[in-house]
Amino acid sequence: MCKEDESLAAKSGGLFETLRAATPNAATIPLAPCHGDFAFHNILFVGRRTVTFDWDLHGLADPARDVARFVVILKRQALHRLGSLDALDGAAGVFLEAY
């Protein structure tokens, strides 16, 4: 596809460089215990307690991995169930603020 559209190739290369510059060196990120599959369907609210389950994919990782996965799954659910990618942005914002 990039051979057919040089502007797409240039944009892709530019995006890659922007992402590379914005991403910290992986060696400098402190690892922490992470769920590995963190999403709304792995959370129970019991009274005033919050419980997470399904820890099959747990391990040490950059905590941003769990945060990003949670937000991406909210976006997918918003689009699939509510017809708008932005429909659950409020919930994602509350999650990010609390995190």
Contact criterion met (CB below 8 Å) for 35 and 63? no
Q: pLDDT 10s per residue in the chain (99 long)?
A: 555 667 888 888 888 888 888 877 777 889 999 999 999 999 999 999 999 999 999 999 999 999 999 999 999 999 999 999 999 999 999 999 998
Reduced to 3 states (helix: H, G, I; strand: E, B; else coil), residue 23 is coil
Residue 12 lies inside a defined structural domain of this protein: no
Q: Which residue has the tokens 């530019």?
A: 14
Query: Model's pTM, two decimal places?
Result: 0.71
**Is there a domain that residue 78 lies in?**
yes
What ranges in 1-99 are assigned the alpha helix state H? 6-22, 64-82, 89-98
55 domain residue, yes or no: yes
Give the pLDDT confidence score for residue 3 in this predicted structure. Answer: 58
- Establish if 42 belongs to a structural domain: yes
User: Domain of 81?
Assistant: 27-98
What pLDDT, on the 0 to 100 scale, is given for residue 13? Answer: 85
Number of domains in the chain: 1
CA 77/CA 80 separation, integer angstroms: 5
